[in-house]
Amino acid sequence: MSSGTQASGSESDAYEVYRDPWGIPHVRAFDELRLAYAQGRVTAFDRAWQIEVERHRAEGSSASFLGADCVPWDRFARQCRLADTARRCYEALDPHTAAWVRAYVDGVNDGLTIGAARDERFARSGLTPTPWEPWVPLAVWIATHILFAGFATKLWRERVARALGDDAVTLFATDGPGTAGSNGWLVPGDRTTTGAAIIAGDPHRFIEDPGVYQQIRLSCPDYDVVGLAVPGVPGLAHFGHTGAVAWAITNAMADYQDLYVEQLRRSGSRVEARGPGGRWEPVHRHTETITVADGDDLEVEILETARGPVIIHADADTDAGATADTGASAATGAADGPGSAAGDSAQTLSLRYPPRVREDLGFAALPALLRARTVADVDRALDGWAEPVNVVHAADSAGGLLHRVAGAVPLRHRSNRLRPVPAWDPQHAWQGWAPTPAEPVQGFAVMANARGIASPLGVEFAPPHRADRIRELLSGSADWSPQAMAGVHADTYLASAAPLLALLPAFDGLSPAARELRARLLAWDRHMAADSAEATLFAALRSAVVRRFAADPVFAGLWEAPTGPEVFHPWLYLVPRIGYALEGLLATPLLPDLDRAAHVRAALEETAAAGAPDTPWSQVHRLTPWQALPDPGEPAPDWPGLGGDHDCVNATSSVPGFTDLTARASAARYVWDLARREDSLWAVPLGADGVTGSPHHRDQLPLWARCELVPVVTDWTRLTKESI
């Protein structure tokens, strides 16, 4: 351990690690810094491969051992200056928080070698762990969340505006394929069996193997907290229960990252950008080299203007010779050319994001949350939070309740939120920071990425269906227990099916097979249940409608496949965009030439003609987690089939029109009981151990697939002590 974290006696005497029956680590130490060290060490032991992959992704060096497929991300990470931003944020930390982060990193470094020895992927990829620098946890955090607010949606909106007109800029507004959502609900004590509040929910993210959340308990004389950590990051930023107070978050869907159209000119190695008022300003420039396993090294030019890092490069001569007409168009906010949103390389775009501007992630809140005893403590800690912007629920054992937004959102012109804006127009400069809303809890509080408390801070939000359904379910009882919350997690009702189904009764002259299919769908209970064949049929009809919509000439201007940086492509494909926005597209008056009824009728006949096998939804709606290094030549794991859909509370997202497989779902589920913490419950998609084949790698998977939870064990006598 480094200076400032050295324990008296041996390191093994400075902390203890216990495991519950699910292999979840319970870490106990004699002070806060030793505990941070122990959290880092146990994380390196359990998740060495995962955190090393995340470190290299944050540094833009993952292609060095994972190969050429990772070059697009590495290029983006370097051009976006993720690691440099993390260094700056670390150097700006207060001394206490910096020491706490360093202690965690010391633990990681002491555990990496033994952790790597447990995992054959290191040998298979040729990766040798190297010591972490103190700023790496901050880099992991930034890399995990840099695309979280979906700034790439602005590229899509620009493409839509150019194809369909400015009035259509938000035509596809919905919970898009690149965003991350969550459910959360807070039930006060007057509606529970115990008289104390319950907080429950689940973050929705792309499911990864190993999982993106780590169940852990952190205990020292100052606090004893259970919660969900992000591997590679100290503390429990998003979900925690100290015994006296608990907290949880969802994505606020705030817009806090801007894209600027830059005009550049070059003279030798010197680069300048056209700034506000037309003044030419110096641009930082250097080059970096991406090492590629089994490939040629790649040199990347790094540019940063006064707005921020350049993430889409254009031809310098084109930029320098931009016409007056281009400038005039951009000055309106239309920014002629970020039709480069479609991948056209005719423009240069820079990214302005709060951590780089403020040199602050809000990490001082993390140790403060661990020490919290009341909702007031949580509230004060989160006043300093920055990235990402979250809606927060908190409750304490004395009856305190909290529902607020936390994070840094800049004040600026409204067009900044919609599309790329011209760097040279002063009206698009940031003008300070928006206040974060809070409101009292009345009855119960629900957060599910829909419009609500965070509305003033965003543009696009999730459809209201999950939030409305949770409210409906909670309203059905005034006697909630922690165990009953699993039923809310598991709910599969799909309210967004209504607009499509509503078109079916009007069709006449259908074939016998289509009439039979229509009858089955209209009699369906609209639950995307795992064992429902009607759910499978509805998904097939929906996909056929999506494909037919996508082929309609009204969308011809959006048919071109994305080009440009590959990291933005998930936001730029037409079929997924239509799939997620279908409900709105069925009703919008903005597309008068789109014959919706004809497309739905043809899709019904198509689906019926393909046959209507009684296939349960779970047979086609199967989990497909992301793996950094899949086993070569091995059969694919038998991942479970799931119920749910993207607008269900049990949010298991497929891509309508493309696949019924799901890669995004609940990355964890939790129920925090404020009466007795030991009655709390939780689950993750796989398990506590990140090493393939270990006993606790996938032992929670069957339970998670059924929306069942495991108990939070808090009695030390029921745990097994181990030495690592």
348-387 b/e with 16+ CB inside 10 Å = b? bbbbbbbbbbbbbbbbbbbbbbbebebbebbbebbeebbb
Burial class (CB in 10 A: 0-12, 13-18, 19+), 229: buried
Residue 143 has pLDDT above 80, yes or no: yes
Residue 386 has pLDDT above 90, yes or no: yes
Confidence (pLDDT) at 333: 31
Residue 10 has pLDDT above 70, yes or no: no
Please state the rounded mean pLDDT for residues 433-444. 94
Please state the rounded mean pLDDT for residues 200-211. 95
Burial class (CB in 10 A: 0-12, 13-18, 19+), 6: middle
Distance CA 467, CA 303 (A): 42
Q: Find the angle CA(239)-CA(245)-CA(249) to the nearest 5 degrees.
A: 30
Q: What is the pTM of this model?
A: 0.93
- Contact present, 283 and 265 (Cβ < 8 Å): no
Instruction: Report residue 502's pLDDT band, with 50, 70 and 90 as the boundaries.
Output: very high
Residue 706 has pLDDT above 50, yes or no: yes
Instruction: Look at 365-374, 555-564, 635-644 and tell me which has the smallest mean pLDDT.
Output: 635-644
3-state class of 673 per DSSP?
Answer: strand
Residue 656 has pLDDT above 90, yes or no: yes
Confidence (pLDDT) at 205: 92
Confidence (pLDDT) at 341: 35
684 Rama class: left (phi>0) / alpha (psi -120 to 50) / beta: beta
**What is the average pLDDT value for the chain, to the nearest integer?**
91
Instruction: Report residue 131's pLDDT band, with 50, 70 and 90 as the boundaries.
Output: very high
Please state the rounded mean pLDDT for residues 310-316. 80
Check residues 347 and 589 and name the one with the higher pLDDT: 589
Instruction: Report residue 316's pLDDT band, with 50, 70 and 90 as the boundaries.
Output: very low
Confidence (pLDDT) at 117: 97
Residue 324 has pLDDT above 70, yes or no: no
Instruction: Report residue 325's pLDDT band, with 50, 70 and 90 as the boundaries.
Output: very low
Instruction: Look at 326-330, 510-514, 663-667 and tell me which has the smallest mean pLDDT.
Output: 326-330
Instruction: Report residue 12's pLDDT band, with 50, 70 and 90 as the boundaries.
Output: low
Instruction: Look at 14-18, 355-359, 560-564, 600-604 and tell me which has the smallest mean pLDDT.
Output: 560-564
Confidence (pLDDT) at 611: 82
Consecutive H or E run containing 145: helix 136-145
Confidence (pLDDT) at 612: 64
Task: Name the one residue in this structure whose structure tokens are 């796989």.
Answer: 686
Task: Name the one residue in this structure whose structure tokens are 């014959």.
Answer: 595
Residue by residue, what is the 3-state secondary structure of 373-428? CCHHHHHHHHCCCCCCCEEEEEEECCCCEEEEEECCCECCCHHHHHCCEECCCHHH
Confidence (pLDDT) at 340: 34
Task: Give the type of residue at 543.
Answer: S
Distance CA 558, CA 572 (A): 9
The CATH-assigned architecture of domain 258-352 is Roll (2.30)
Confidence (pLDDT) at 2: 38
Residue 3 has pLDDT above 70, yes or no: no
DSSP structural state of residue 690: -
pLDDT, tens digit, 9 for 90 and up, residues 562-616: 888 999 999 999 999 999 999 999 999 999 999 999 999 999 999 999 986 789 9
Confidence (pLDDT) at 665: 96
Instruction: Report residue 552's pLDDT band, with 50, 70 and 90 as the boundaries.
Output: very high
Distance CA 291, CA 65 (A): 9
Confidence (pLDDT) at 405: 97
Distance CA 610, CA 606 (A): 6
Please state the rounded mean pLDDT for residues 603-632. 90
pLDDT, tens digit, 9 for 90 and up, residues 153-183: 999 999 999 999 999 999 998 744 444 579 9
The superfamily CATH assigns to domain 19-146+183-257+353-491+667-724 is: Aminohydrolase, N-terminal nucleophile (Ntn) domain (3.60.20.10)
Beta strands in 521-657 (DSSP E): 653-655
Six-digit token string for 368: 């403060």
Instruction: Report residue 261's pLDDT band, with 50, 70 and 90 as the boundaries.
Output: very high
* Percent of the chain residues past pLDDT 90, beyond the cut: 88
pLDDT, tens digit, 9 for 90 and up, residues 73-96: 999 999 999 999 999 999 999 999
Using CA atoms, how far residue 466 sits from 319, 359, 486, 582, 644, in Å, is 45, 35, 15, 16, 11
Crossing angle of helices 32-59 and 82-91, in 10° steps, is: 150
Where do the H-state alpha helices sit in 233-280?
Answer: none
Which of 562, 568, 564 has its CA nearest to residue 153?
A: 568
Domain residue spans of the chain: 19-146+183-257+353-491+667-724, 154-176+493-526+533-615, 258-352
Confidence (pLDDT) at 1: 40
- Contact present, 286 and 311 (Cβ < 8 Å): no
Beta bridge partners of 558: none
List the strands of the sheet with 348-352, edge to edge: 310-312, 348-352, 258-262, 421-422
Question: What is the CA 275 to chain-centroid distance, rounded?
Answer: 33
Please state the rounded mean pLDDT for residues 468-480. 95
Instruction: Report residue 306's pLDDT band, with 50, 70 and 90 as the boundaries.
Output: very high
Please report how many Cα atoms fall inside a 13 Å half-sphere around the Cα of residue 44, on the Cβ side.
27
- Contact present, 651 and 666 (Cβ < 8 Å): yes
Which of 309, 311, 359 has its CA nearest to residue 90?
A: 359
pLDDT, tens digit, 9 for 90 and up, residues 221-232: 999 999 999 999
Instruction: Report residue 148's pLDDT band, with 50, 70 and 90 as the boundaries.
Output: confident
* Percent of the chain residues past pLDDT 70, beyond the cut: 92
Instruction: Report residue 435's pLDDT band, with 50, 70 and 90 as the boundaries.
Output: very high
- Contact present, 686 and 626 (Cβ < 8 Å): no
